[in-house]
Structure 1
Amino acid sequence: MTPDAPLFLHRIPGPEPAPDAPLVPYWSVTKTVIALCALRLAEAQRLDLDAPLADIGATLRQLLDHTAGLPDYVTLPAYRDSVARDDEPWPADDLLRAALAQGRLFAPGEGWAYSNVGYLLARRVIEEAAGLPLDAVVQEQICAPLGLRSLRLATGRRDFRDLPFPGTQRYHPGWVYHGCLIGSAEDAARLMHALFTGKILKPESRTQMIAARPLGGALPGRPWTECGYGLGLMCGRFGAAGRVLGHSGGGPFSLAAVYHFPELPAPVTVAAFTGGGGEGRAEFAAQEAALKPRP
């Protein structure tokens, strides 16, 4: 952690946060929320995770666990150039056409590749099943049951205007095509803690989420010593902190890491948000907070 990088952190159990805690971008932690919404709708029999999706050639489950074989859009040079110029986001259908023109990476279920395109498509499936836009689905399925008041979907530059990081004005959240939630560090921790304390999903649904595909061992510059991916969850081990379940994320000006640590003598959940680059910085902050003895 560099000395000038702001750090916003909340640990459960832990002290109460300041009442005026700032909002921060959740980046790809939003994927966990999307997967939670899908599983909640599946519990209500409003969608089927394993039904073949027309025109996609994969199932919703394969979109959520990155086994659909879809390419990503961050590999498109024109996308990266537009973001660097601070252009307005492309229409989503134009983005999809350009990304999918790269070709499928493998047959569905025959490999693993992280794909933001897959989560854009998952968002559309969820919105169609719920008959609501994603922000309303999140409010109905996640925020209302858990009493989370700060969460909302960032839709325009105004939503990033007052975030506590330099450079927020040179990025439109629409470039995150599956959606970028913003909220407090406290609500991020409360959300993840609720998942692993039985407050938001039935046990069988939670079991599906954490049934992770093994993806290897240590990652340079990050605390991971074992890696895997479930349904919207990064699963593995952070060295001495043991098993971890949650998600990391990052954008041009900040980083996110929200994890549950179930193997500690007293299990904890930590949400860490900081500035700068390299997702390991937020992950190491979460690991340090998890291992710190309670006062």
Structure 2
Amino acid sequence: MQNFHSYCISASGEERGEGDLSARFPYWSFTKTVIAICALKLCESRVVDLDSCTDGGAYTLRQLLNHTAGLPDYGALKTYHEAVDAGENPWSREKLLSVALAKGMLFAPGAGWSYSNIGYMLAREHIEAASGLSFAQLVADIVTTPLGLASIAPVTTREEFAQLHCEAAGKYHPGWVYHGCLAGNVQDAARLLHGLFNGKLLSAASLAEMQATIPLGGALEGRPWTECGYALGLMSGAMGNAGRSAGHSGGGPSCVNAVYHFPDLPEPVTGACFTDGHHEGVAENELGRWVQNFG
């Protein structure tokens, strides 16, 4: 039987949840949304520039955040998955880049789109270097402290990961998520995205920039998407009858999640759903069902 842990918040502030609301889960790629929020906040204070080339590279921070830098992704590497499945410790940064970039870039920066976890690793490293702060401190200063989200923090060791509500807990090293892996409970995930779309984290101009979307196509098999696109740290498109949606899905060994804002519902709703398994579509479909029945 599928176990769902879900939480929703309406525009008027009504909150409702089901499942274990105190358990902490790996946020997986929802971490990308937080990296993008931190980058945009640092842009507001002119610590970083979205359109300047990063660290002498050929690509800009914006291109790293919207996956147009042309970087490959380690998710396509058979040797990566074999090492993870074997319970090995993460490769060094140097080995990762050597293996992933063995065939070079996929395309010239700005000339295409391809999802890249490596791009987000480089984006995180860039904002850390520019600000002089660790990712953990940036998350605390920019996101969790202003919103009062006590459950959210990066997990970096097997011991920290072992405390999470996830079948892989105790077996998996979160260092395999090279851009960093936040963890927290389901209600804090929903509250984080709710805070973003209610203007509590970024200026109106920055939030609009964050939502500038690259259209990527239509339906995906087994998933509720009817329009697909990617913005800055946001999967952005439409999920059937739930209408427009913006947020992020995530998945890793043994569990998946979906955290989205739905502005087209009779009353806009932001929600999160975490569940076991390996297919993000299961969490996305359940969240879409839940938000449509929320009122």
Shorter-chain TM-score range:
over 0.9
Name the aligned partner's letter for residue 189 of structure 1: A
**Equivalent residue number for residue 72 of structure 2:** 71
% identical equivalent positions:
52
Contact 1:6 1:165 in 2 (8 A): no
Contact 2:8 2:17 in 1 (8 A): no
Q: Deviations over 1:206-253 (max 9, x none)?
A: 111111000000000000000000000000000000000000010011
Contact 2:54 2:61 in 1 (8 A): yes
Residues of 2 paired with 1:284 and 1:270: CA distance? 12
Secondary structure at the aligned position of 1:74 is classed as helix
Residues of 1 paired with 2:250 and 2:32: CA distance? 9
**Equivalent residue number for residue 180 of structure 1:** 181
Residues of 2 paired with 1:54 and 1:153: CA distance? 24
Name the aligned partner's letter for residue 277 of structure 2: G
Contact 2:72 2:118 in 1 (8 A): yes
**Equivalent residue number for residue 132 of structure 1:** 133
Alignment of 1:10 onto 2:7: yes
Residues of 1 paired with 2:275 and 2:179: CA distance? 22
TM-score by length of 2: 0.95
**Equivalent residue number for residue 21 of structure 1:** 22
Residues of 1 paired with 2:16 and 2:215: CA distance? 36
**Equivalent residue number for residue 171 of structure 1:** 172
Residues of 2 paired with 1:87 and 1:118: CA distance? 23
Contact 1:168 1:253 in 2 (8 A): no
Secondary structure at the aligned position of 2:94 is classed as helix
Residues of 2 paired with 1:6 and 1:159: CA distance? 23
Structure 2: 5+ residue stretches without partners: none
In the superposition, relative to structure 1, how do residues 124 and 293 fare at CA in structure 2: closer, same or farther (>3 Å)? closer
Residues of 2 paired with 1:165 and 1:54: CA distance? 36
**Equivalent residue number for residue 102 of structure 1:** 103
Secondary structure at the aligned position of 2:76 is classed as coil
Structure 1: 5+ residue stretches without partners: none
Offset at 1:16? Answer: 5.5
Residues of 1 paired with 2:190 and 2:94: CA distance? 33
Residues of 1 paired with 2:209 and 2:157: CA distance? 34
- After TM superposition, the structure 1 = structure 2 runs for residues 1-295 of structure 1, keeping only pairs within 5 Å, are 3=1, 5-13=2-10, 14-15=14-15, 21-294=22-295
Q: Which range is displaced more, 244-253 or 95-104? A: 95-104
Residues of 2 paired with 1:201 and 1:154: CA distance? 25
In the superposition, relative to structure 1, how do residues 20 and 241 fare at CA in structure 2: closer, same or farther (>3 Å)? closer
Residues of 2 paired with 1:167 and 1:118: CA distance? 25
Residues of 2 paired with 1:125 and 1:217: CA distance? 33
Offset at 1:78? Answer: 2.0
Contact 1:250 1:256 in 2 (8 A): yes
Residues of 1 paired with 2:83 and 2:57: CA distance? 26
What is the total number of aligned residue pairs between the two structures? Answer: 291
Name the aligned partner's letter for residue 52 of structure 1: C
Offset at 1:285? Answer: 1.2
Residues of 2 paired with 1:254 and 1:100: CA distance? 28
Residues of 1 paired with 2:184 and 2:115: CA distance? 24
Residues of 2 paired with 1:254 and 1:22: CA distance? 13
Q: Which range is displaced more, 164-173 or 184-193? A: 164-173
Q: Deviations over 1:131-161 (max 9, x none)?
A: 1111111111111111111110010111221
Q: Which range is displaced more, 222-231 or 139-148? A: 139-148
Name the aligned partner's letter for residue 288 of structure 1: R
Offset at 1:35? Answer: 0.2
Contact 1:248 1:283 in 2 (8 A): yes
Name segments (4+ residues, structure 1) moved above 6 Å.
none
Contact 1:32 1:233 in 2 (8 A): yes
Contact 1:192 1:258 in 2 (8 A): yes
Contact 1:69 1:108 in 2 (8 A): yes
Offset at 1:20? Answer: 6.3
